[in-house]
Amino acid sequence: MDSDDLPLGYGVTLAELGGDGFDEQEDINIGLQKKAVPIYLPRRIWKPRTEIWAQGLFAMNSILALAQS
The H-or-E segment that residue 26 falls in is strand 25-30
* pLDDT tens sequence across 16-69: 888 777 888 999 999 999 999 999 989 899 889 999 999 999 999 999 999 998
User: Is the separation of the CB atoms in 11 and 17 below 8 Å?
Assistant: yes
Residue 52, classed as helix, strand or coil, is helix
User: For residues 8 and 5, what is the distance between their CA atoms, to the nearest angstrom?
Assistant: 10
What pTM was computed for the model? 0.72
Residue 27, classed as helix, strand or coil, is strand
User: Is the separation of the CB atoms in 12 and 6 below 8 Å?
Assistant: yes
User: Is the separation of the CB atoms in 8 and 16 below 8 Å?
Assistant: yes
The arithmetic mean of pLDDT across residues 5-22, rounded, is 86
